[in-house]
Amino acid sequence: MRAIQLIISGNPEVYGITALSLYVSVLGTSLSCVWSIPIAIGLALRSFPGKRISKGFFNAMIGVPTVTLGLFLYLVLSRSGPAGYFQLLYTPTAIIIGQSILVTPIIVSFSTSALESIDPDLRSLARTLGASNNQMYQVVIREASWGIVLAIIASFNRAFAELGVALMLGGNIANVTRVLTTAIALSTDMGDLPLSIALAIILLVIVVTLSVVINLLRKQ
Amino acid sequence: MTSRVETVDLGKRYDGILALEHVRISAQPNEVTSIVGTNGAGKTTLLKILAGLETSDGGRVLMDGREVDQNELRGLCTMVFQKTVILGTTVYGNVAYGLEIKSVPRQEIDRRVKSALHSVNLEGFEKRKARKLSGGEQQRVSLARALVLERDLLLIDEPTANLDPANALLIEHAITEAKSMTTIILSTHNLPQARRLSDHVVHLHRGRVIEEGPPSSFFTAPQDERTKLFINGELQY
């Protein structure tokens, strides 16, 4: 009951944590799209040496444990690491970077599949209608756009619900880097179950809603 | 008279397997040339080479007496595929696509799309989602999409395969009307159709031209024994 009250009353701590979670995950997913979608287009539509190995690599990386990635990036971003100069550790930016790397294999793999599922005859059709190579790629990408959107939403879901990267790179600092997953872990540890439950309900609602959206898009 | 399109000793192999060998055909302006033959004879391969979608392994293609390469062919010809490929947009969007990517003015696009849809009896279908149409209507959209480009050569692979008689008739009518504006080469298993539509018939067997001629003599007095068997439905690949 207390958990529901925290949600309904608009508790600033609850909604501040939720807002920060959405902020870092949206930015992290968006940042990943900048390189992931071009990579997917290259993997799906071009031929090059090592293509199969590259696809296999991204598929394999989907299952990388978040805490392992978090540890690796911690070593990179820490003061003694190669990117320590930028002092990004324990900032929202570090979480954004970490989550953007975390979701890259998901966006790449799902988008590649979406592009490859487009009828190969479509490329012949575009060519016979006078399309240049770039125009032909645009047609294929447009036809696969729902699949790519699905990949992005699924990636956001992964980023939003992960714990390892946010904890290792953000440090769970109140009002700075405390996101839903790290806040749930901490408040459970401290025995503040109403807060844990409230945050967990919000996390679940958002994740389940997005999962429903993903399923609806798949049917489309 | 210079042929609109002519192939000279065209050859093609796929992984060492012969698809076409020494193929010499010609099609005249404003005529329909039918390519007939069994499955695997090389009909689709020939059309794809003429459309610039595949390269040949030997020989030449001439347009109006001038040798052309694969890139040029793509600009001079267009092809309607046996398997209907429809873009996920409206009927108008499908038919207009080839003009829009060439930045043709909108007014001109509207005019040509309207005319093309009229020729395939799909007037009023502009705003409908093309993928929700029946198979026959989609094939007519495909034909309109090719006609709208007003290219020198129109290639059609099995224009009425899998269509009901009503839709087949509409397609044939559109082809007959279209030949006044272009040159058409089509492949077909439908011998009565080839007889009805064609000004010239070519029999392709195992990648080689074994007989050709006007329908009047091709179907009534074929010279090659294999053509006789083919017309009687007895020829196997």
Q: What ipTM does this complex have?
A: 0.86
Dihedral angle of Cα B138, B141, B142, B146, to the nearest 10 degrees: 180
Residue of B54, B72, B74 to mutate, interface with A, max A Cβ within 10 Å: B74
pTM of the model: 0.80
What DSSP state is assigned to residue A88?
-
Q: Is A149 on the interface with B (CB under 8 A)?
A: no
Architecture per CATH, A26-178: Orthogonal Bundle (1.10)
Sort B29 into a burial class: Cβ within 10 Å, 0-12 / 13-18 / 19+.
middle
Residue of A124, A125, A135, A145 to mutate, interface with B, max B Cβ within 10 Å: A125
What DSSP state is assigned to residue A144?
T
Give B-chain residues touching A142 at CB under 8 angstroms. 88
Give the Cα separation of B216 and B193 in Å (integer). Answer: 13
Cross-chain residue pair B51–A128, CB shorter than 8 Å: yes
pLDDT tens across the length of chain B (237 residues)? 678 899 999 999 998 888 999 999 999 999 999 999 988 899 999 999 999 999 999 999 999 999 999 989 988 999 999 999 999 999 999 999 999 999 999 999 999 999 999 999 999 999 999 999 999 999 999 999 999 999 999 999 999 988 888 889 999 999 999 998 899 999 998 899 999 999 999 999 999 999 999 999 999 999 999 999 899 888 766
Give the Cα separation of A98 and A92 in Å (integer). Answer: 10
SS (HEC) of chain B: CCCCEEEEEEEEEECCEEEEEEECCEECCCCEEEEECCCCCCHHHHHHHHCCCCCCCEEEEEECCEEECHHHHHHHEEEECCCCCCCCCEHHHHHHHHHHCCCCCHHHHHHHHHHHHHHCCCCCCCCCEHHHCCHHHHHHHHHHHHHCCCCCEEEEECCCCCCCHHHHHHHHHHHHHHCCCCEEEEEECCHHHHHHHCCEEEEEECCEEEEEECHHHHCCCCCCHHHHHHHCCCCCC
Cross-chain residue pair A127–B97, CB shorter than 8 Å: no
Q: Is B145 on the interface with A (CB under 8 A)?
A: yes
Out of A121, A131, A132, whose CB is closest to B85? Answer: A121
Provide the pLDDT for residue A220. Answer: 65
Q: Is B131 on the interface with A (CB under 8 A)?
A: no
